[in-house]
Chain A
Amino acid sequence: MTGQPDDPIVRLLSMLIDGNVEFIVVGGAAAVLSGVPVVTKDLDIVHKRSPENVERLLSVLSKIDAHFRPDFAQRKLRPRASDLTGHGHLNFDTTFGPLDVLCEVSGSRGFDELVPHTVELSDFDLKLRVLDLPMLIKVKAEANRPKDRMALPILMATLEERQKPGRGE
């Protein structure tokens, strides 16, 4: 599409969408997509753990040469379906940069639990399902790690700015 920003992270998102993977953008990328002025270097997603969707995700991961990171021994370990149906966080390096595939966030919130707390963003040719700011804030508050506590004020301030009349997107 004309004018779409050309960047590896956009290509990564396009690959997931073109592969019909059902996923939610979470973490720093979700914050940035919602207008939070922070820097993020990777893409975090929560995927639907149905067998069909895991198959589609595995297919995309194979096409983008996804392998676990860090990979000190350079063994290029690839994910298996059983990894993607579990509960953990899977960190990959891919052709298009780092991708973190999270089975669940903040305890036991998976795709199905998070979907009611998402917004659908359409920009250029991409339609993305993104975790909304209130749930992102709640997840950060629950995580209670120093880096999450540091992010809370700017997340809350962004939410306040977005709630001002005429600011919503």
Chain B
Amino acid sequence: MGDELITQVRAYLAEHDPDVLAAIEDVDRSLIQLELQRSPLERLVASVQQARFYERLAASRKSAQGGSR
């Protein structure tokens, strides 16, 4: 069932969005391979913690910019 869906998506992208299809080959596979070595829950926790870090970073930069004006 999954292969069928992917065939449909690939056919759709080939017709409507060939740039996206071409970009698949540009993806750095080493990042994916590293992720697959972790357990699913470890991946999820690492991902949300990274998101929170970026949010804090963005907030502190925003407040620093506000303070310097």
Q: Contact residues of A with B, CB < 8 Å?
A: 4-5, 7-10, 28-29, 32-41, 97, 116-117, 121, 123-124, 126, 128, 130, 132-135, 137-138, 141, 149, 152-154, 156-162, 167, 169
Ordered by A's residue number, 20 sampled pairs between the chains whose C-beta atoms are within 8 Å are A7-B48, A7-B49, A9-B44, A10-B45, A28-B47, A33-B40, A35-B43, A38-B47, A40-B51, A123-B40, A126-B41, A134-B2, A134-B3, A137-B9, A152-B20, A152-B24, A153-B24, A153-B27, A154-B32, A157-B24
Bound Cα distance from A32 to B6, whole angstroms:
19
Contact (A138, B27) CB under 8 Å given A37-B34, A39-B54, A123-B41: no
Q: Are B51 and A167 within 8 A (Cβ)?
A: no
B9 near A37 (CB under 8 angstroms)? no
Bound CA–CA A33/B47 (angstroms): 10
> Does B1 lie within 8 Å of A117, measured CB to CB?
yes
